[in-house]
Amino acid sequence: MSTKRTPPLAGVTVVEIGAFMAAPFAAMQLADLGADVIKVEHAVGGDPVRQTGPFLGTESSPFVRINRNKRSVALDLKSPDARRAFLRLVERADVLVENLRPGAMRRLGLGYEDLREINPRLVYASASGWGQDGPLAGLPGLDIMAQARSGLMSITGHPGGPPAKVGVPICDLVCGLYVALAVTAALRERDRSDAGQYIDVSLYEAGVSFAVWEAGKYFATGEVGGPMGSAHQSNAPYQAVHSSDGYVTIGATTPRNWQAFCDALGLTHLLDDPRYADAFSRLANRTELIGTIETVTSTMSTDEIVERLNKAGVPCAPIADYGEVFTDEHLAARDFFWDAEHPTVGPVRQLGSPMRLSETPVRRDGAGPMLGADTREVLAAVGCSPKEIEGLVASGAAVAADG
């Protein structure tokens, strides 16, 4: 029987200067793993996601989810006094994660070269649209621009249709995941060298990193892929097909699964058809193959197809909407969703972390904090006197939600 222990990143202090998605999502991963994440927000308004609906009372519903397990300190870093308080915080931190426009932190005197002078062990991670150098570095870069330039939008959607992006901000999110992974790697290296380092991750390169199949094709043959709807780039049948009441996804690409698929749906005559003799042949003749498959699947309900294929051991799944996902019995059985407490709105339903560690489980603490909820506590812990803290609050260089 497993005994719950201290989370793996307990004792690691992370300072986040993040807005919107990439840095906050990265820091959320680190917070889930036990790090003490101190979210430093602008004293006026804080993270812009705080103004993004829908709202729970006066609190942003997206904000209180993506910023769970964190503490909030509200400072105006353009104020000399607030900047001095921030530097005290950095002196004792292990990690800084930021996603301001390249150069913005340097202009504040808070770039990596500045901060390593006061904390040589600091791991400093920057997330940006295009990276910290190169011809595009100075341009604004949102997720949709990264999806466009990275090639993702060129292969998303249906042939001949208008441009389509992935339904979630995938470049933002995977950039955040790469930042979190790089930070943990840099902390491991610091165990050996006792020195911090700088990490540069971009939405653009995060998006390009997905092109595993496309790179394999292009660098081998020079062929450039295009949109294929739900179909796979190099396997068939592997896509959504019509049922009598919608669609169902199928994946019958191995010899065993192809045999079981045909047997389960009464398509055994396809097993002797030379056009479908192997995976390469089925891919070359995909249009005819899918048409034949759909003459059968379109007469059956999605539930019936899934039941038959599951019984035969063939990979398949219905296409669920999020109303179904968020009430899914499998996820409920695995205790994926959980409620985080918030001081004003009460329990806030959270998406669980996909990281399941048997001995050191991830944290499930509070929902995203109110702006400046921890300003006084955090600044006092890094040596600011009560007089200094009250002076910051009185001048507007800091916000403290606790009074």
Contact yes or no for 116/196 (Cβ under 8 A): yes
Q: Which residue has the tokens 């994440």?
A: 37
Query: What would the two tokens of residue 200 be?
Result: 């540069």
| pLDDT score of 21 | 97
User: Could you report the per-residue pLDDT of 246-278, keeping only the tens digit for each?
Assistant: 999 999 999 999 999 999 999 999 999 999 999
State which amino acid sits at residue 36. Answer: D
Share of the chain above pLDDT 70, in %: 99
* pLDDT higher than 60, residue 389: yes
147-200 tens-digit pLDDT: 999 999 999 999 999 999 999 999 999 999 999 999 999 999 999 999 999 999
Structure tokens at 192: 């050996």
3-state secondary structure of 17: strand
Under 8 Å between Cβ of 15 and 93: yes
pLDDT at 5: 83
How far is the C-alpha of 11 from the C-alpha of 35, rounded, in Å? 6
Peptide bond into 237 cis (omega under 30): yes
Buried b / exposed e over 95-120, threshold 16 CB at 10 Å, is bbbbbbebebbeeeebbbeebbeebe
Q: What is the mean pLDDT of the chain?
A: 96
Tell me the catalytic residues. Answer: 172
Domains of the chain: 13-209+332-399 (3.40.50.10540), 238-319 (3.30.1540.10)
Eight-state DSSP code of residue 366 = B
pLDDT at 403 over 90: no
